[in-house]
């Protein structure tokens, strides 16, 4: 198989985690005789520095013509700490999502037996958690009209949703639920927001076409608690853009780290794959960020290419590192391994080097206890 992949490393830890995902994709390609061609493009603060814009036209063009996009993260403190900045890295990401019509962001959440000690409830009830968040990605408050009055004393962000925007992601979520445990939970704030009441109405209408799927409705404030307290109740969560953004970061806590969660953004054209975390500026260049969110996003990219066995091999390798204590600093702040070491271990595993072939002594040399 020959595929053209646009790689957008972005800012902060984006480059270092994305490089691990590319290592793993290279191992998959080598094993299977595939040819993955990478085209590196700019977006975010690094793009502003080099071109004056967070999303150069060349990046949009390359992304539109690619088979898939692998993305790291964008964002830099110099913009986060300047609320008056007119040009911002995040504008690039939002524009890319809109340009590619990536209306559905799919964020699977799982727990790992070896990381139970990190879970907030530290108990049996967090075993076997496995749900998927379908977050609407190109509408809602992030894309509404933004205004600041002349005096700088009043601001507004408009939140708009159309029936069509809700329907297209709802159908995807219902279809996914049919292939899983047949339960869909709409997370909204329909007791207060008109947009949420439209979401409820549309989902109730669409539910008639999926009679085998049980539908639940949950207010987002309650959902935020339930995700921690009783996450096993969820199968597919469907929600709007901002609520999905927030509850998915929250859900990462029950997995063990924000660095673990991958995502796929799909729509009408090329699909994009990215970890759910941001550019984690404090860790930039230290080789300590968890690359699993990025590597597992690459696994979702392989699924998208129809390479399901290979994708599962990558997931098996990621599980193997966690089970054997090959973890980054977010998981074990004392005995941890570097980002690049985890990437090597996983690509070695995918290349057919069984755990027995990997000499722990060599790995120990690359371990750090001093950062
Ligand atoms: N998709 C994207 O590109 C996103 C970009 N951002 C941007 O990222 C910048 C930083 O935002 P924050 O709110 O600090 O969010 P963040 O996701 O970058 O980091 C929040 C915290 O999560 C942990 N974390 C995140 N990724 C990790 C990883 N791979 N390994 C280990 N720990 C990890 C760290 O404790 C970190 O302090 C901002 O400029 C923000 O706008 C934020 C979210 C998503
Ligand atoms: C620019 C933000 C909306 C990025 C983010 O937090 C996300 O997509 O999860
Ligand atoms: Mg987010």
ipTM attached to this prediction: 0.99
- The residue to mutate among 45, 55, 89, 93, having the most atoms of ligand 2 within 8 angstroms of its beta carbon, is 93
Exposure of 239 by Cβ count < 10 A (0-12 exposed, 13-18 middle, 19+ buried)? buried
Task: Please provide the average confidence, as pLDDT, over all residues in the chain.
Answer: 95
How much is the pTM? 0.97
- Catalytic-labelled residue, pool 98, 182, 183, 189: 189
Judged by its nearest atom, the ligand closest to the C-alpha of residue 279 is: 1
CA–centroid distance, residue 245 to ligand 2 (Å): 6
Q: How does residue 357 score in pLDDT terms, banded at 50, 70 and 90?
A: low
Question: Residues comprising the binding site?
Answer: 97, 107, 135, 221, 245, 249
Our answer on whether the CB atom of 278 is closer than 6 Å to any ligand 1 atom is yes
Q: Once rounded to an integer, what is the mean pLDDT over residues 120-140? A: 85
Atom of ligand 1 at shortest range from CA of 77: 39
The helix (run of H) or strand (run of E) holding residue 133 is: strand 130-136
Express each pLDDT in 20-51 by its tens digit: 999 999 999 999 999 999 999 999 999 999 99
Q: Is the CB of 280 under 6 A from ligand 1?
A: yes
- Reading the block at residue 262, the tokens are 């991958």
- Residue 205 annotated among the catalytic residues of the structure: no
Ligand 1 contact via 290 beta carbon (within 6 Å): yes
Fold of the domain spanning 109-256:
Isopropylmalate Dehydrogenase (3.40.718)
d(CA 340, CA 7): 18
Report the separation in Å between the CA atom of 46 and the middle of ligand 2, taken as the mean of its atom positions: 17
**pLDDT value, residue 355:** 65
Interval between CA 277 and ligand 1 midpoint (Å): 5
Catalytic residue of the set 249, 286, 303, 332: 249
Check whether domain 1-100+269-371 has CATH 3.40.718.10, yes or no:
yes
Instruction: Tell me how far the alpha carbon of residue 178 lies from the centroid of ligand 1, in angstroms.
Output: 33
Residues with CB under 6 A from ligand 2: 90, 93, 142, 245, 276
Closest ligand 2 atom to 276 CA: 9
Decide if 1-100+269-371 and 109-256 have a common fold.
yes
Task: Label residue 208 exposed, middle or buried (CB < 10 Å: 0-12, 13-18, 19+).
Answer: exposed
Q: What percent of the chain has pLDDT over 90?
A: 90
Residues 315/296, Cβ–Cβ less than 8 Å: yes
Do the beta carbons of residue 172 and residue 104 sit within 8 Å?
Answer: yes
Q: Which residues line the annotated binding site for Mg(2+)?
A: 221, 245, 249
Residues 222, 216: Cα–Cα separation, whole Å: 13
**Surrounding residues of ion ligand 3, Cβ less than 5 A:** 245
Pairing of strands 264-266, 271-273: antiparallel
Per residue in 211-260, pLDDT (tens digit) is 999 999 999 999 999 999 999 999 999 999 999 999 999 999 999 999 99
Phi, psi of 218, deg, nearest 5: -140, 130
Distances from the Cα of 251 to the Cαs of 243, 264, 267, 359, 361, in angstroms? Answer: 12, 16, 24, 35, 35
**Ligand with an atom nearest the CA of residue 288:** 1
- The domain locations on the chain are 1-100+269-371, 109-256
Return the pLDDT at 360: 67
**Share above pLDDT 70 across residues of the chain, in percent, rounded to a whole number:** 95
- Tell me if 345 sits within 8 A of 314, measured CB to CB: no
* Interval between CA 13 and ligand 1 midpoint (Å): 9
Tokens of 72: 């790291």
Quote the pLDDT of residue 251: 97
Name the closest ligand to CA 333.
Answer: 1
pLDDT for res 118? 85
């Amino acid at each position: 198989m020959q595929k053209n992949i646009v790689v957008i490393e972005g800012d902060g830890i984006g480059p270092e985690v994305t490089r691990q995902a590319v290592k793993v994709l290279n191992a998959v390609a080598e094993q299977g005789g595939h040819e993955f061609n990478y085209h590196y493009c700019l977006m975010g603060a690094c793009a502003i520095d080099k071109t004056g814009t967070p999303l150069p036209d060349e990046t949009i063009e390359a992304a539109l013509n690619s088979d898939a996009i692998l993305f790291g993260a964008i964002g830099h403190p110099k913009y986060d700490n300047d609320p008056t900045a007119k040009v911002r890295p995040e504008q690039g990401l939002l524009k890319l999502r809109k340009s590619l019509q990536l209306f559905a962001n799919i964020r699977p959440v799982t727990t790992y037996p070896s990381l139970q000690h990190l879970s907030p409830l530290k108990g049996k009830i967090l075993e076997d958690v496995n749900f998927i968040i379908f977050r609407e990605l190109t509408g809602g408050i992030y894309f509404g009209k933004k205004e600041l009055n002349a005096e700088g004393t009043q601001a507004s962000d408009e939140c708009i949703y159309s029936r069509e925007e809700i329907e297209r992601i709802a159908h995807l979520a219902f279809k996914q639920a049919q292939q899983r445990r047949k339960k869909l939970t709409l997370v909204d704030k329909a007791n207060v927001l008109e947009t949420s009441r439209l979401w409820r109405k549309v989902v109730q209408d669409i539910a008639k076409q999926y009679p085998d799927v049980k539908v639940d409705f949950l207010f987002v404030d309650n959902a935020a608690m339930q995700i921690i307290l009783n996450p096993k109740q969820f199968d597919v969560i469907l929600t709007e853009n901002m609520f999905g953004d927030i509850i998915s970061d929250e859900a990462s806590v029950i997995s063990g780290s924000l660095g673990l969660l991958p995502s796929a953004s799909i729509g009408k054209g090329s699909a994009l794959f990215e970890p759910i975390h941001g550019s984690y500026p404090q860790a930039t260049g230290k080789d300590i960020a968890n690359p699993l969110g990025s590597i597992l996003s690459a696994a979702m990219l392989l699924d998208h290419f129809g390479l399901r066995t290979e994708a599962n091999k990558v997931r098996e390798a990621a599980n193997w590192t966690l089970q054997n204590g090959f973890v980054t600093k977010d998981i074990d702040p004392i005995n941890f391994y570097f980002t690049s070491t985890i990437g090597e271990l996983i690509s070695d595993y995918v290349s057919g080097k069984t755990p027995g072939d990997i000499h722990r002594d060599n790995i120990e040399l690359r371990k750090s206890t001093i950062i």
